[in-house]
């Protein structure tokens, strides 16, 4: 399990390879740097893959689904059974994420991490045992071979409460700064969510230096699995595109376990959920876009995968000034 596992995660820094990739980027038939973030994406993927000719041959969106005992505190306007119903919708191809996956040629991988078997109500007891948290991380790691470019998605009624609690615990922020409306809470519902997180933090006193302990106290099975996906992908030198608030809370855990793992993460977007900006700031992450998304499922990550594939195609397929016979200043 994670507590005894030695992660073999290397930083992607490679000055000579970076110079070769940058030299090709600068030789393409365009003004230097004119493709902006698309150029830095191609560079990151090349460094992750350890090659000056990166490629995207397979794409998968791994959507982890789980239920949360914290819904007993009235922190969601939707009942817990919606998690199961939405997982069935994913499998039937009728959800937003499956439409996006079809459109972009991404293989959807739907994973039941605890649908109908919720974590415990963390306002009253730890959400998981340490062993359960470690097992969920290990299961997430097992999906790192799903493709050479991975997306991380999730579904779980109540999981914005876990994500907000994890941010409060790791970053030392009051829940009033991290807890938002989730799937559409009114003001009274947001107040209940803030109160539930405050009670949980007082009960568990999670130690940011012990990320597995924080995760076990406050997290969800699907959040643990996404953290595992990030860690497993980093070991295999594969990029992971994370979605919004919940997926990024898993990145908080992955970073605390193995800081180098974030070299392999692309942050797709800044969501409309309160607290996500603070979460991204804590991660020192610069998302690709801000479209006021707050759906989850991996919807933003699918858009991010498309941008990465676009950046790699431009890098590989554009002519150079020499090959096209175009004058270069």
Q: Same domain, yes or no, for 36 and 112?
A: no
Q: Is residue 4 part of a domain?
A: no
Q: Same domain, yes or no, for 40 and 65?
A: no
Query: In the β-sheet with 265-267, what is the strand arrangement from edge to edge?
Result: 107-119, 59-68, 149-155, 239-242, 265-267
Catalytic residue among 132, 154, 273, 297: 297
Q: Is residue 142 part of a domain?
A: yes
The answer to whether residues 213 and 128 touch, using CB atoms and an 8 Å cutoff, is no
**Exposure of 197 in the CB half-sphere (CA atoms within 13 A):** 29
Q: Same domain, yes or no, for 47 and 165?
A: no
Read off the tokens for 115: 């649908």
DSSP state of 115: E
Concerning whether 297 is annotated as a catalytic residue, the answer is: yes
221 closest CA partner among 101, 321, 99, 138: 138
Read off the tokens for 318: 């554009």
Q: Same domain, yes or no, for 175 and 42?
A: no
CA distances from 236 to 9, 49, 145, 312 (A): 8, 9, 8, 19
The answer to whether residues 222 and 159 touch, using CB atoms and an 8 Å cutoff, is yes
Q: Structural domain of residue 139, as residue ranges?
A: 59-309
Q: Same domain, yes or no, for 42 and 100?
A: no
pLDDT (tens, 9 = 90+) of the chain, 329 residues, equals: 444 556 889 999 999 999 999 999 999 999 999 999 999 999 999 999 999 999 999 999 999 999 999 999 999 999 999 999 999 999 999 999 999 999 999 999 999 999 999 999 999 999 999 999 999 999 999 999 999 999 999 999 999 999 999 999 999 999 999 999 998 999 999 999 999 999 999 999 999 999 999 999 999 999 999 999 999 999 999 999 999 999 999 999 999 999 999 999 999 999 999 999 999 999 999 999 999 999 999 999 999 999 999 999 999 999 999 998 898 86
Read off the tokens for 55: 């490629």
Q: Same domain, yes or no, for 46 and 63?
A: no
148's CB contacts (< 8 A; 6+ apart) are: 49, 55, 56, 57, 58, 59, 238
Number of domains, the chain: 2
Q: Same domain, yes or no, for 213 and 291?
A: yes
The answer to whether residues 188 and 162 touch, using CB atoms and an 8 Å cutoff, is no
In 3-state terms, what secondary structure has residue 14? coil
Q: Same domain, yes or no, for 21 and 115?
A: no
Q: Is residue 1 part of a domain?
A: no
The pTM of the full predicted model, rounded to 2 decimals, is: 0.96
Read off the tokens for 262: 């974030």
The answer to whether residues 8 and 235 touch, using CB atoms and an 8 Å cutoff, is yes
């Amino acid at each position: 399990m994670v507590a005894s596992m030695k992660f073999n995660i290397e930083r992607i820094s490679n000055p000579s390879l970076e110079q070769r990739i940058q030299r090709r980027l600068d030789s393409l038939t365009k003004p230097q740097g004119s493709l902006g973030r698309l150029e830095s994406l191609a560079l990151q993927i090349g460094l992750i893959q350890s090659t000056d000719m990166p490629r995207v041959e397979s794409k998968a969106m791994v959507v982890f689904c789980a239920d949360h005992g914290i819904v007993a505190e009235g922190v969601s306007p939707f009942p817990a059974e919606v998690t199961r119903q939405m997982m069935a919708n994913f499998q039937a191809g009728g959800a937003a994420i499956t439409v996006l996956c079809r459109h972009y040629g991404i293989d959807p991988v739907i994973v039941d991490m605890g649908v109908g078997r919720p974590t415990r109500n963390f306002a009253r007891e730890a959400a998981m045992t340490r062993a359960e948290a470690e097992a969920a991380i290990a299961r997430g790691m097992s999906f790192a071979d799903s493709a050479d470019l991975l997306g991380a998605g999730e579904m779980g009624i109540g999981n914005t409460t876990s994500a907000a609690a994890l941010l409060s615990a790791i970053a030392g922020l009051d829940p009033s700064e991290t807890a938002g409306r989730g799937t559409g809470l009114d003001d009274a519902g947001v107040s209940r969510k803030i109160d539930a997180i405050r009670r949980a933090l007082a009960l568990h006193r999670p130690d940011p230096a012990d990320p597995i302990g924080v995760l076990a106290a406050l997290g969800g099975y699907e959040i643990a699995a996404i953290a595992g996906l990030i860690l497993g992908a980093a070991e295999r030198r594969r990029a992971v595109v994370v979605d919004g608030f919940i997926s990024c809370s898993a990145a908080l855990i992955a970073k605390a376990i193995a800081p180098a793992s974030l070299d392999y993460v692309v942050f797709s977007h800044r969501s409309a959920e309160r607290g996500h900006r603070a979460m991204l700031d804590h991660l020192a992450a610069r998302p690709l876009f801000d479209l006021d998304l707050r759906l989850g499922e991996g919807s933003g990550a699918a858009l991010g995968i498309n941008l990465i594939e676009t950046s790699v195609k431009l890098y590989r397929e554009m002519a150079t000034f020499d090959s096209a016979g175009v004058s270069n200043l």
